[in-house]
Amino acid sequence: MLIDTYGRVATDLRVSLTDKCNLRCTYCMPEEGLQWLSKTELLSDDEIVRLIRVAVTGLGVTEVRFTGGEPLLRPGLVSIVERCAALEPRPRMSLTTNGIGLKRTATALKAAGLDRVNVSLDTLRPDVFKTLTRRDRHKDVLEGLEAAREAGLIPVKVNSVLMPGLNDDEAPELLAWAVENAYELRFIEQMPLDAQHGWKRDGMITAGDILASLRTRFTLTAEGDEERGSAPAERWTVDGGPHRVGVIASVTRPFCRACDRTRLTADGQVRTCLFAREETDLRGALRSGAPDEEIARIWKLAMWGKKAGSGLDDPAFLQPDRPMSAIGG
């Protein structure tokens, strides 16, 4: 098991497949992009599958989420999913994506064994999308969402970040659209993960702001803690159900006490928390010929040292030294 000194057990593995992305979202990276990892720094497909196998068969991981950057840019993605679906026990597998490539890959991913997707979409307005992402790809994301739903990658979850002065008035509109299209909408408080370190706590749209906006149009009924479990999103039923909306309030309502995640970066580092400033190297062990038992030992030792919280609730919080594209969301 991947247990820490606070008794939390990590059963959910987030795997970053690449640091590259085909969008330039203002809250993630600068317009000119970043200095990408070299091919030799990235884990190979075989190395990724091996580490997932160690986690699933030897360390108690039951869920695997593929992330990026943009994971659909990984050439071997379908094969990686297929190989992981063959593991015993079989992990539940999902993908977090910007949706641009889903129209052409959703059917193949479903056939390979992917269970569901999370798609990032912050606005229903093409002009605002272009401003936020610095790319004119709004239509592609909508078509990707439809393709995912039609392929059976359900529930299709939509992740939205609200930004002051850009889309902060869109919460009710986004929820109405999600209900109409049978997507499960989750709002995420903007987190300090941008490479340019421009995040400001006093300028963010909080969970309280989001809920107040939604309640101008919908009746929201909170789900209980038992139904939430270790999920990062607090959820509400909408107008009596069956549709639900979630809010991930990493900054104003931290959920660290129930965290069950471990993270693997695209270059083979274990991160115990999205906001951790320390990493533990597994790539070096892999490439030096270490057996699975040694890799598992290193991983368990890393998780044993996991801190009690992310530190985001501390006003003096310092941003991580690696942007989200290199860590995996």
Q: How far apart are CA 204 and CA 303, in angstroms?
A: 31
Which residues, including other chains, have CB under 8 Å from residue 242's CB and lie 6 or more apart?
A: none
Do strands 234-238 and 244-248 pair parallel, antiparallel, or not at all (unpaired)?
A: antiparallel
**3-class SS of residue 220:** strand
Inter-residue contact 69 to 325 (CB < 8 Å):
yes
User: Could you tell me which residues are annotated as the binding site for [4Fe-4S] cluster?
Assistant: 21, 25, 28, 256, 259, 273
- Token digits for 133? 């992402």
Inter-residue contact 256 to 321 (CB < 8 Å):
no
Phi, psi of 278 (to 5 degrees): -120, 150
Biggest distance spanned by C-alpha atoms of the chain: 59
Cis peptide before 208 (omega within 30 of 0): no
User: Could you tell me which residues are annotated as the binding site?
Assistant: 14, 21, 25, 27-28, 65, 69, 96, 120, 157, 191, 256, 259, 261-263, 273
Cα 56 to Cα 6, 13, 87, 109, 308: the distances in Å are 22, 9, 8, 20, 24
Angle in degrees, CA 282, 40, 53, rounded to 5: 40
Find tokens 């990984």 and name the residue. Answer: 74
User: Could you tell me which residues are annotated as the binding site for GTP?
Assistant: 14, 65, 96, 157, 261-263
Q: How far apart are CA 246 and CA 189, in angstroms?
A: 11
Which residues, including other chains, have CB under 8 Å from residue 212's CB and lie 6 or more apart?
A: none
User: Could you tell me which residues are annotated as the binding site for S-adenosyl-L-methionine?
Assistant: 27, 69, 120, 191
